[in-house]
Amino acid sequence: MLDRVRELLAGEEAWVVGGAVRDELLGKPVVDLDVACRRPREAASGYAEDAGGKPFPLSERHGAWRVAHRDGRTVDFTPLPDGIEQDLATRDFTINAIARPLGGGDDVDPHGGRADLAARRVRAVSDSAFEDDPLRLLRAVRFEEELGFALDGQTEQLIRAHAALVARPAGERILGELVRLGPPGYRRLGELRLLAPLGGSLEMIERVEGAATPELLLVAIFGEALERLPISNELRRYARTLLRAEPPSDFSPRAVHRFRRSTEPWTLDAVQLFGGGDELVEAVEVARAADPAGPLVRGDELGVPPGPEIGRLLALIEEERAAGTISSRDEALALARKEAR
């Protein structure tokens, strides 16, 4: 990526800025590139043509453009109207406010980002950083967790003072930060008073702390309030399934089957969410291992007209099979004849 950008912008003022410089200085792989230049739209179009991607505006207001590679990597081109130091003064944190000349040369680091990297510290570039973009309240916590850094004292005070702004950014941007947090990050949001304004709570976090996926964490932290965010239909189904789940009354094959029928394929996540314990986990795993390869009968073999009745009878047959009261096709058909309405 970088070589292509160098060729494209040879002879022009252009700087690599932000996370790319930070990650290289930390010895981490550089995945995404952020280039500040005089003509970002033209640069994005030229790069996209060469790289086989498609440019699109990141911000109509600020004039930033992005080119996305098929493998998920991105190259952003941001405007440079008043010089690199002015650009860096608008950045979020000092560790992201280091610039490197695209054509080679010494880094520009007016805010002490290198020193903060060495000290493993997240420090805001300016006192207005969180008013300028409240999403930075969440990004600060994410950087703490992802990098293993700590907020400096003044930055933490600024976050606490501006915590009420945390819900202002667009829901897509908020969700994009939340899905990158683990349990320590959510606990930190709670400490900094950033969680409640988003509708979140730490009440259930201990239940899912072990091996929680980002999706399970979102459900545990936000519950029904998760639907205030622009989540996907799949995540909405997942959340509703888990939040409506009721633990089985016992560990009998029939009770476990009914529980699975209402929660699969996310049954074990539901167990974790309401603290079902190891015994229920084992019962679910035993039931899954015993799942038959196919049904005893098809719907068109039941001898009833098409409609909801077929689904009801098939579900009944599946339950009785799981409970061990029937095991053959003839028994299934006999049950259907007996129970048909």
Number of domains composing the chain: 4
Whether 92 and 31 map to the same domain: the answer is yes
65 within a domain of the structure (yes/no): yes
High-pLDDT (> 70) share of the chain, %: 99
Whether 160 and 48 map to the same domain: the answer is no
Query: Which of 102, 119, 136 is the endpoint of a domain?
Result: 119
Whether 250 and 328 map to the same domain: the answer is no
* pTM for this predicted structure: 0.87
77 within a domain of the structure (yes/no): yes
Please calculate the CA angle 95-177-209 and round it to the nearest 5 degrees: 105
Question: Which residues span the domain enclosing 196?
Answer: 127-244
CATH number for the domain harbouring residue 74:
3.30.460.10
294 within a domain of the structure (yes/no): no
- Identify whether the C-beta of residue 208 lies closer than 8 Å to the C-beta of residue 181: no
Whether 108 and 134 map to the same domain: the answer is no
pLDDT, one tens digit per residue, over 5-60 is: 888 888 889 999 999 999 999 999 888 899 999 999 999 988 888 777 778 888 65
The CA distances from residue 179 to 172, 188, 208, 212, 213, in Å, are 11, 15, 15, 12, 9
Token pair recorded at residue 72: 């998920």
- pLDDT for position 108: 96
What does the buried/exposed string (b/e) look like for 159-168 if buried means 16 or more CB atoms within 10 Å of the residue's CB?
A: beebbebbbe
146 within a domain of the structure (yes/no): yes
pLDDT, one tens digit per residue, over 201-222 is: 999 999 998 777 999 999 999 9
pLDDT, one tens digit per residue, over 285-334 is: 999 999 999 999 999 999 889 999 999 999 999 999 999 999 999 999 99
Whether 222 and 269 map to the same domain: the answer is no
- Phi first, then psi, for residue 91 (nearest 5°) are -75, 170
Whether 139 and 173 map to the same domain: the answer is yes
151 within a domain of the structure (yes/no): yes
Token pair recorded at residue 173: 């941007």
